Structure 1
């Protein structure tokens, strides 16, 4: 096992950071690493916004559900799906690109490109002994976030990433077993096997929470997910995406 794999296997979300800002060099290396990620057909359909203004960070923390680590970290990045520049390049080259950039395909491409870039950024940050935490809570109110960041049409903030020096390391959350995630040649559809794997994972997770909390918590993974998914949230998203000229045609 090499150092890169060790870094990735050691990932955990950090929610408490030292009061220490990242250096300009660290920020640039993280962004350059993000830019080195694969991108579909070289389209590079994303942008990254670094938020340093304490007032903006405080407002973003409130939008995200009063998550203090959105405000208190070494640097806060927001990763955006971005097809705005592609409208400009169509005008520059006198080509009609609107139908293409408003297609479902290129909407998916922009999300994939953004996610790939973000994960490269996360690995780069962790390789520098920094901690990271993805923040999906900014999608609680994207209209407010877009207004705060002054994003144009065809740019949608997808998630944030708090980066900084860990105040303390949290435990790693156990992932699903490899045999449940990895299918060879075709998707495993043996329902009894599928449920048995989930039941075994539930037992493992329940023990993890029990040990971590001194017996105060023993819930299962399927129980957590079922509770979360039975309460739909952010149901405004389809309408919001359409208004920002990601019309999903």
Structure 2
């Protein structure tokens, strides 16, 4: 095992940071690391918006469900699927690419590109002794995010990443069993085995929460997920995606 793998395996979400801001050099390294991630056919269909303005961070924290660590961190990054530069490129080359820009495939490519870039960014930050936390809560009110950050059509804010100097100690949360995630040659569909693996994972997660909270929580993973997904979230999403010029075909 090397230091890169150790950093990955020791990943935890940090939700409490010191007030120390990231330096310009750190921000640049994190963004450059994000840019070094793989990108489908070299399209580089993403943009990163760094938010340092205190009032904007405060507003984003409110939008994200009053998550204080969106406001208080070393720097806040928002990763966006971005096809605007591709539209401009087509205009420069006098080509019509509207059908491609609005296709489901291109939307998927842009989301994957942004996600790959963000994971590189988080790994880079953690390798520098920083902590990070992904923030999907910015999608609670994307119209407000769009206005706050002056986001144009063909750009879609996907999620935020709070980065900073950790001000807490956290333990690594156990992931699903290897055999539940990795299937060899084909998707294994033995449901009795599938459920047995999930029950075993339920026991692991329940013990984790019990220890972490001093006995206040004993959540099972299947219980947690079923309760969370029982009521659909952000049902306006499809219309907003289309409004931003994505997924029309």
* TM-score, length-scaled by structure 1: 0.99
8 Å contact from structure 1 (residues 107, 248) kept in 2: no
Matched with 2:168 is 168
Q: Residue 157 of structure 1: SS of its match in structure 2?
A: strand
Displacement of 1:247 in angstroms is 3.1
Q: Residue 147 of structure 1: SS of its match in structure 2?
A: helix
Displacement of 1:24 in angstroms is 0.5
Q: What is the distance in 2 between the residues matched to 1:58 and 1:175?
A: 32
1:106 maps onto 2:92 in alignment: no
Displacement of 1:31 in angstroms is 0.1
Q: Residue 140 of structure 1: SS of its match in structure 2?
A: helix
64-73 or 169-178: bigger deviation: 169-178
Q: What is the distance in 2 between the residues matched to 1:248 and 1:120?
A: 30
1:121-180 superposed Cα distances (whole Å, 9 cap, x missing partner) = 000000000000000000000000010000100101000000000001211111001111
Matched with 1:30 is 30
Q: What is the distance in 2 between the residues matched to 1:166 and 1:159?
A: 20
Matched with 2:224 is 224
Displacement of 1:77 in angstroms is 0.3
Q: What is the distance in 2 between the residues matched to 1:38 and 1:107?
A: 16
Displacement of 1:248 in angstroms is 3.6
Q: What is the distance in 2 between the residues matched to 1:16 and 1:224?
A: 23
1:1-249 alignment, distance < 5 Å: 1-249=1-249
Q: What is the distance in 1 between the residues matched to 2:184 and 2:24?
A: 44
Q: What is the distance in 1 between the residues matched to 2:151 and 2:86?
A: 15
Which runs of structure 1 show a deviation greater than 2 angstroms over 4 or more consecutive aligned residues?
Answer: none
Displacement of 1:212 in angstroms is 1.2
* TM-score, length-scaled by structure 2: 0.99
8 Å contact from structure 1 (residues 17, 74) kept in 2: yes
Q: What is the distance in 2 between the residues matched to 1:208 and 1:55?
A: 37
1:30-50 superposed Cα distances (whole Å, 9 cap, x missing partner) = 000000000000000000000
Displacement of 1:231 in angstroms is 1.1
Q: How many residues of Structure 1 are paired with residues of Structure 2 in the alignment?
A: 249
Q: What is the distance in 1 between the residues matched to 2:244 and 2:136?
A: 19
For structure 1, the residue ranges without an aligned partner over 5 or more in a row are none
Q: Residue 129 of structure 2: SS of its match in structure 1?
A: coil
Q: What is the distance in 1 between the residues matched to 2:215 and 2:55?
A: 39
Q: What is the distance in 2 between the residues matched to 1:25 and 1:60?
A: 24
For structure 2, the residue ranges without an aligned partner over 5 or more in a row are none
